Amino acid sequence: MQPVLSLRGITKSFPGVRALNGVQLDLYPGQVTALIGENGAGKSTIVKILTGIYQPEEGTITVDGRETRFPTAQAAGAAGVTAIHQETVLFDELTVAENIFIGHAPRTRLGLIDTARMQAEAARLLASIHADLNPKARLRDLGIASKHLVAIARALSIDARVVIMDEPTAALSHKEIHELYDLVEVLKAQGKAILFISHKFDEIFRIADRFTVFRDGQFVAEGAMAEVREADLVQMMVGRAVDQIYPKRPASIGAPVLTVAGYSHPTEFADIGFTLHRGEILGFYGLVGAGRSEVMQALFGITKPSKGACKIEGQVKVIRTTAEAVAAGIVYVPEDRGKQGAVKGLPIFQNVTLPSLSRTSRAGFLRLAEEFALARDYTARLDLRAASLDQDVGLLSGGNQQKVVIAKWLATRPRVIILDEPTKGIDIGSKAAVHDFMSELAAQGLAVIMVSSEIPEVLGMSDRVIVMREGRIAAEFAGDQMTPENLVRAAVGIEEAA
Amino acid sequence: MTSLSTRHIPDRLQSPMTRATRSWEALLLLVAIAIFIANSLASPYFLDPWNLSDASFNFTEKALIAFAMAMLVIAGEIDLSVASIIALCSTVMGAAMMAGVPVWGLVALGLGTGLACGAFNGLLVAGFGLPSIVVTIGTMSLFRGLSFIALGDGAYTGYPAGFAWFGQGYVWWVFSFELVLFVVMALLFSILLHRTNFGRLVYVIGNNATAARFSGVRVDRVRFILFLLTGLMSGIAAICLTSRLGSTRPSIATGFELEVVTMVVLGGVSILGGSGSIPGVVIAALVMGLVTFGLGLLNVPGIVMSIIVGALLIGVIALPRLWAMWRR
């Protein structure tokens, strides 16, 4: 079978980083090809090349056996390549039909938009993907899954032949994911070539026909999914066998460090109380929206609690600003790395030293040698991969950005570190490094709070787990009580049949 | 730990020297030198030290404000009320002069009024979280409006002889007080922005104010100080300008704010915040001063001059982009 689209010898560099080095990729009609690789392997770069956003320095793009170029996003669209991104770019204030046909709406003879025809066409497209949506509905009234359907209908409306799905299930619920799988089958039946990017192995094995693996910007292997095992794929991705077991060490739990009592907020949470000890990893589990991040951000001084008190090593502390939290020894690694964690546009070393400037400077004057020394020390401890410490942190992969944010906080020598979804969206290799490091920190006597929605991670890493539901603490589990069933029951509010 | 495979990460790939020679500031310096040579060829009067010294007055006062404005813009804010602050400071000094306040008192009042205006802007932006462009368009009308109420069509004249020194005096040979102040402030602001923790925070906030707050930075305090500093520099500029003109009218310094912003942008400060440097603004001030002076020597009328300055701004900003597009 001849591929619809084929890349050969693609190379793309950024200052200090070779993002892609002579990679190849083939996409076949009616087949799903999974693109697999750690963060930083070059997956996003190849998507941007396929959609005309980046231009490769070397290599060829062949569509239907004819060599071509995608100098602009429009050119890629015209060649039938379309992408559905993690966070799909759509317009909330427009209707479903307008979103589908934006930029290429059918016109009347006067050159005005032919609304009736547009809505009829939209209805036909939505029906072809079994999407039960009203073309006249405003997009802002739809859920995330429905928005995905609109994005897919939009992809079909430009008669796409190659559909790129970049982590399409990241924000979807269980049921919505299954609907997406059905949709992929529909697209396959229509003969579309699909490039599917995902970190989740179960889903790759479920829907992909072929795989291509990249590592550090290099092509590693490709083949049929039927002929490969999960362990082989993992090994290809990381170039070594990865220990799937959580590296939790037996902790020696010490004296209480942080005691929270009666923390409340007018709308987000109520009556939160717990005690955290030295050397302990305390897991916070719950459904999205249970108020876990809000509690943590209140402890870190981002939001103000309306009631309640917090004690650090027995002393009452009032935390009104983040500066006061840092001074009290509480630090927070946020879930939203890009917006709240890393200062993109500034070099790695300046990100690391940001909260420690008072220590690396003298009388308010910067001392670069001290800053580099501190940054070198902590980035090495986290096994950061970067071209130089002077490199823009925005050019790093998600996993490495996370390492920079963690390094930044460790350099302040905190008493309590709060990690909010520390491994969300980062690859297996970096994930293991973060887990490993967390374990080591606890062993050194740091008190760790880990907010996570991944049950294996919560159970694998925590000494104790607090489950939150609708802004309140629903249950607390330790030892044998820490089972997936107990956590889920408490999170959704099913009382255990005693 | 997994640090068995730890790779050594170098501090830098490019030396600071290499980076400097490839910078915007280096390009701008070449432009300045080119204009300097062109001017000296076009007019025999250009290379006279006294003429050059006189010419410096057309940029020094604006440049003083531009240093503070550069920091404000790098932090992602802007202050369009600076020219109106000059008018209000000058009016306060004029009224005090009529009441018989001595020279040192006039200076203190000029600085104090500038600080007060800056504090007012800063309070509205940092304290109440209002957008700075809206706030300062408002205070632009407000401050100058107060000056019009006080003066109407009138003017304060008759400043004491001692007060004239700030705008007309010379420290040594051809070096005027204003020129020396320009050099000193250029150095102080370079140190403040590029060598202190405070300067680092300005860049951090300009690149990502949310992450700055999530890193324990007192973002609003930094913003407030920056407005205060801009107000203070406007007060200093008001003392120099009032002293040089020897009178106060409510229309004093009209249009300065746009020339100050032009200087800042020409100096390579990103109008979106996050990047830029004081040396860049210093060179931009020199470029604008040289262009104005050179055209003046050639008897080019003022209106044509402002067309040329506008074209220069667009040209210098657009050329690197066009160059990059062409190479793609």
Tell me what percent of the residues of chain A surpass a pLDDT of 70: 94
Q: Using an 8 Å CB-CB cutoff, list chain A residues near B199.
A: 366
What tens digit of pLDDT does each residue of A93-123 get?
899 999 888 877 888 888 888 999 999 999 9
| pLDDT at position A497 over 50 | no
Give the integer Cα–Cα distance in Å for B252 and A35: 65
A497 min Cα distance to partner chain B (Å): 43
Give the minimum alpha-carbon distance from B311 to chain A in angstroms, rounded to a whole number.
Answer: 30
CATH number of the domain at A5-238, please? 3.40.50.300
Put simply, whether B9 touches A (Cβ < 8 Å) is: yes
Question: pLDDT at residue A170 above 70?
Answer: no
Contact (CB<8Å) A408/B215:
yes
Averaged pLDDT, B99-106: 95
* Section A439-451 average pLDDT: 92
B22 touches chain A (CB under 8 A): no
Q: What is the pLDDT of residues A420-438, one digit of tens each?
A: 999 877 777 778 888 888 9
Residues of B in contact with A242 (CB under 8 A): none
Interatomic CA distance for residues B192 and A222, integer angstroms: 55
Nearest CA in chain A to B208: A343
Helices and strands (H and E) in chain B: how many: 15, 4
Q: Write the CB contacts of A40 (distance below 8 Å, at least 6 apart in sequence).
A: A216, A385, A396, A397, A398, A399, A400, A427
Instruction: Give per-residue pLDDT as tens, B4-53.
Output: 444 678 888 888 888 887 788 888 899 899 999 999 998 888 889 998 89
Q: Give the A:B interface size as CB pairs under 8 Å.
A: 115
Q: What is the mean pLDDT of residues A24-33?
A: 94
pLDDT in tens, B122-173: 999 999 999 999 999 999 999 999 999 999 889 999 999 999 999 999 999 9
Cβ <8 Å between A383 and B198: no
In this structure, whether the domain defined by A256-492 belongs to CATH 3.40.50.2000 is answered with no
Of A179, A7, A151, whose CA–CA distance to A86 is shortest?
A: A151
What is residue A388's predicted lDDT score, i.e. its pLDDT?
A: 92
Cβ contact, residue pair B198, A364, below 8 Å = yes
How large is the greatest C-alpha to C-alpha distance in chain B, in angstroms? 79
* pLDDT tens digits, one per residue of B161-204: 999 999 999 999 999 999 999 999 999 999 999 999 999 999 99
Distance CA A449, CA A461 (A): 11
CB A332 within 8 A of CB A422: no
**Span of A298-302, B147-151, B258-262, B314-318 with lowest mean pLDDT:** B314-318
Of A288, A276, A298, A308, which Cα lies nearest the Cα of A476? A276
**Which residues of chain B lie closer than 8 angstroms to A362, CB-CB?**
none
The predicted-structure confidence for B228-237, as pLDDT tens digits, reads as follows 999 999 999 9
Under the banding of pLDDT at 50, 70 and 90, the label for residue A27 is very high
Calpha distance B230→A90 (Å, rounded)? 41
Q: In angstroms, what separates the C-alpha of B12 from chain A's closest C-alpha?
A: 5
Q: What is the pLDDT of residue B3?
A: 39
What's the rounded mean pLDDT across residues A266-294? 90
A289-298, B15-24, B114-123: least confidently modelled range: B15-24
Q: Please tell me the distance in Å from A493's CA to the nearest CA on chain B.
A: 32
**Domain coordinates in residue numbering, chain A:** 5-238, 256-492
CA distance B296 to chain A (A): 41
Strand, helix or coil for residue A276: strand
Q: Please answer yes or no on whether A436 and B1 come within 8 Å at the CB atom.
A: yes
Domains of chain B: 48-323 (1.10.3470)
Q: Which of A6-20, A167-181, A371-385 has the highest mean pLDDT?
A: A371-385
Laid out side by side, the sheet with A66-68 consists of A17-27, A5-14, A58-63, A66-68
| A297 → chain B, closest CA residue | B214
For A85-98, what is the mean pLDDT? 79
Which of the four pLDDT bands, split at 50, 70 and 90, describes residue A86?
Answer: low
Q: Taking 80 as the threshold, does the pLDDT of residue A314 lie above it?
A: yes
Instruction: Give chain B's mean pLDDT.
Output: 91
pLDDT at site B231: 98
pLDDT score of B2: 38
Q: Residue A380 belongs to what H/E stretch?
A: helix A368-381
| Residue in B closest to A342 by C-alpha | B211
Q: Does B154 or A246 have the greater pLDDT score?
A: B154
Q: Residue A139 contacts by C-beta under 8 Å, 6 or more apart in sequence? A: A90, A91, A92, A93, A94, A95, A96, A99, A147, A150
Q: Which of B3, B11, B192 to mutate to test the interface with A (most CBs of A within 10 A)?
A: B11
Please provide the average confidence, as pLDDT, over all residues in chain A: 87
